[in-house]
Amino acid sequence: MKTLHVVLLMLLTLIVPMNIYAGTPTDTIKAHVDEVLNVLRASPDGSKRSDEAKKAEIRVIAGRMFDFTAMSKATLGNNWNKLDKDQRTEFIKLLKAMLENAYVSKILGYTDEKAVFIGERSLSPTRVEVQSTLMARNADIPMHYRVLKTEDTWKVYDVIIEGVSLVKNYRTQFRQILAKQTPSELLDVMRQKVGEI
């Protein structure tokens, strides 16, 4: 029995490193983007997966690629302190659901787009901006990922598309809402919006 465990462990160590991207920020993001592109590409054997199956796979990748807690903190800024623990947990959940609902279908629409990684810029000892261009049919779209160093990898906390930071955009909205309303009212607004789509 024990030997079996040892063998299993050894096998695991062989397999696992292939899935962990402890490389540079660019390598990490590139690997995730390639993963997504693989999901979008039609299977070589011609079998077609449903959009729902693809969406589910993209959600799993997004879960590994993004740090939704850091993203939530960044979108709330100082207002984060106004939320109690349960409210924070729900906020993170709702923001994640919102982003997935809105953007996953857009990603499914990508066909022959290519992502080219052009460089990276250090923002602080633990934060880096990975710069890429999405080459679409009629235009090149600058797409920058801001990543945060976690224990074993880099995780995205902000995406900047054509100069528009997702985090800043949400922060402007949340600040406006929280100027007049309480955190629990903000969560009501979010719940309602997520329920709509």
Partner 1 sequence: MEDQVVQNSKLAVSINMGQQNAGLSEDDTTDDDLFLLEDEEEIAPAVKDPLYKWNKAMFAFNDRFYFLLARPITKGYAGFVHEDLRTVINNFFLNISVPIRFVNSLLQFKMKSAGTELLRFGINSTIGVAGLRDVAKTEYGLKSSDEDLGQTLGKYQLGHGAYFILPLLGPSSIRDTVGLVGDLFLYPIGYIRPRFLSLGIYTYEEMNRLSFNPDDYEILKKAAFDPYISVRDAYFQNRKQKVEQ
Q: Where do contacts with partner 1 occur on this chain (CB under 8 A)?
A: 69-70, 73-74, 77-78, 80-81, 84-85, 98-99, 101-103, 105-106, 109, 123-124, 126-127, 136-140, 148, 157, 162-165, 167-174, 176-177, 189-190, 193, 197
Let me know: does 121 contact 25? Beta carbons within 8 Å. Answer: no
Q: Which is nearer to partner 1, 34 or 84 (CB)?
A: 84
Let me know: does 130 contact 29? Beta carbons within 8 Å. Answer: yes
Q: Which is nearer to partner 1, 29 or 74 (CB)?
A: 74
Write down the least CB distance from residue 147 to partner 1, Å.
Answer: 11
Write down the least CB distance from residue 51 to partner 1, Å.
Answer: 15
Residues 6+ apart with CB under 8 A from 145: 29, 129, 130, 132, 156, 158, 159, 160
Write down the least CB distance from residue 194 to partner 1, Å.
Answer: 10
Give first-to-last CA distance, the chain, whole Å: 50
Write down the least CB distance from residue 142 to partner 1, Å.
Answer: 8
Q: Give the CA angle between residues 149, 69, 28 to the nearest 5°.
A: 35
Helix H or strand E encompassing 85: helix 85-108
What amino acid occupies position 55? K
Q: Which is nearer to partner 1, 69 or 93 (CB)?
A: 69
Q: Which is nearer to partner 1, 45 or 86 (CB)?
A: 86
